[in-house]
Amino acid sequence: MIKPHGSDSLMPLLVDDPARLEALRTEAEDMPSMMLSSAAAANAVMLGAGYFTPLQGFMNKADALAVAEHMQTGSGVFWPVPVVNLTADDSGILPGSRIALRDPNVTGHPVIAIQDIEAVEVLSEEDVDFIAQQVYRTNDEAHPGVATFTSLGRVLVSGPIQVLNLSYFETDFPETFRTAVEIRSEIEKRGWERVVAFQTRNPMHRAHEELCKMALEAVDADGILIHMLLGKLKPGDIPADVRDAAIRKMVELYFPPNSVMITGYGFDMLYAGPREAVLHALFRQNAGCTHLIVGRDHAGVGDYYGAFDAQTIFDESVPDGAMEIEIFKADHTAYSKKLNKVVMMRDAPDHAKEDFVLLSGTRVREMLGAGEDLPVEFARPEVARILMDHYAEEAANSA
């Protein structure tokens, strides 16, 4: 099986020894505590679940700036985005102390992790602007990732953490949420050697379905990991439980048995385009995948990135040997009226635009909101029905 990133074995930070866990929970009751941002809590979950191997906690200022500029920490670990714990209130947080990190996304704000504080540093406005520009390629506050990052505070609290639980993901998504450890175990159990990962924060339509099948055949893979984001999204995105139901119905009806693992991970979407595509590759390698599908506008939003910037970054900015996972570069896929099947548009040079069934995301949402059927060339009827029911319920609740 493919090795984890930067390590011979996964390094999950979740405390799994019951006695040790209970001792830490008891100790945390008397510690100073800090309320995490949702972004930092998501980082803690990814660290706990092993997805962020080989990182041991939250980065300091020097590492955050180095990662933003060069995609590498001071110790030489290749990493595409800063993993930080930022706050606006540093009262009672001192280097050399231990603090309890509280979860903002769970009722009662239980302790999600304990952090050994190595440094408490302040990011200047110039630092924040620099990181945002490097990671998101923009400082525009209309970009949802930039807006989130610039709202987190300027005090950077760094140091290793011990994770006590994985927030709401295990309880809210018991059939779907899986750690990198669990996914690797399942891949090994199935005897898969070559595994293609498909990242999604949206429901999967016909083009996504066929893209997975194309990649499966092209790289001669044993199976597909459909790996959906379960954390915070921007307003207007479809909730995780609806996406989950739609994807499961599609796989049940339209994929061969035992060819797909449907799983999810606990992270808040960054919408960082190319940089986030590299992050997606790294933590899919940690989950045991050998290939990641990177398509048009992967992890993008609005018009901030070129259509294929998330592919070219692997050629232009990722050093040779920095990661072992391979990228399956996909073109825009659409249903061909001429060929009566979904194709990559680059493979149909004799087609004009009108030869394809093309619907924008905005148009799809408009049709669903109006209760209109989506074309069968665009969405499987069973998938479309789940989405239409969701939009009908949303309309009824807002009436």
The CATH superfamily of 18-167 is: Sulfate adenylyltransferase (3.10.400.10)
**202 is an active site residue:** yes
Phi, psi at 106, each rounded to 5°: -125, 135
379 contacts 205 by C-beta, under 8 angstroms: yes
Region of residue 288 (phi > 0: left; psi between -120 and 50: alpha; otherwise: beta): left
Residues 6+ apart with CB under 8 A from 388: 368, 371, 373
**pTM score, whole prediction:** 0.94
> How is the beta sheet containing 356-357 ordered, strand by strand?
341-344, 333-336, 356-357
Residues 6+ apart with CB under 8 A from 382: 249, 250, 253
Active-site hit among 98, 190, 202, 248: 202
**385 is an active site residue:** no
Please tell me the distance from the alpha carbon of residue 102 to that of residue 239, in angstroms, as a whole number.
24
Active-site hit among 102, 178, 201, 380: 201
Phi, psi at 108, each rounded to 5°: 90, -10
Please tell me the distance from the alpha carbon of residue 251 to that of residue 261, in angstroms, as a whole number.
9
Q: Are strands 98-102 and 86-87 parallel, antiparallel or unpaired?
A: unpaired
HEC letters along 320-352: CCCCCCEEEECCCEEEECCCCEEEEHHHCCCCC
> How is the beta sheet containing 260-265 ordered, strand by strand?
260-265, 223-229, 195-200, 291-294, 326-329
- Of 251, 276, 274, the residue nearest 262 (C-alpha): 251
Query: What residue segments make up the domains of the chain, in order of their start?
Result: 18-167, 177-265+271-398
Indicate the helix (H) or strand (E) that contains 100.
strand 98-102
Q: Are strands 98-102 and 33-35 parallel, antiparallel or unpaired?
A: parallel
Please tell me the distance from the alpha carbon of residue 269 to that of residue 235, in angstroms, as a whole number.
12
CA 116 to chain centre: 26
Please tell me the distance from the alpha carbon of residue 190 to that of residue 188, in angstroms, as a whole number.
5
Could you list the pLDDT tens digit for every one of the 399 residues in the chain?
999 999 999 999 999 999 999 999 999 999 999 999 999 999 999 999 999 999 999 999 999 999 999 999 999 999 999 999 999 988 879 999 999 999 999 999 999 999 999 999 999 999 999 999 999 999 999 999 999 999 999 999 999 999 999 999 999 999 999 999 999 999 999 999 999 999 998 888 888 999 999 999 999 999 999 999 998 877 777 888 899 999 999 999 999 999 999 999 999 999 999 999 999 999 999 999 999 999 988 999 999 999 999 999 999 999 999 999 999 999 888 889 989 988 988 889 899 988 998 866 667 778 887 888 888 888 899 999 999 999 888 877 876
Please tell me the distance from the alpha carbon of residue 15 to that of residue 304, in angstroms, as a whole number.
39
CATH topology of domain 177-265+271-398: Rossmann fold (3.40.50)
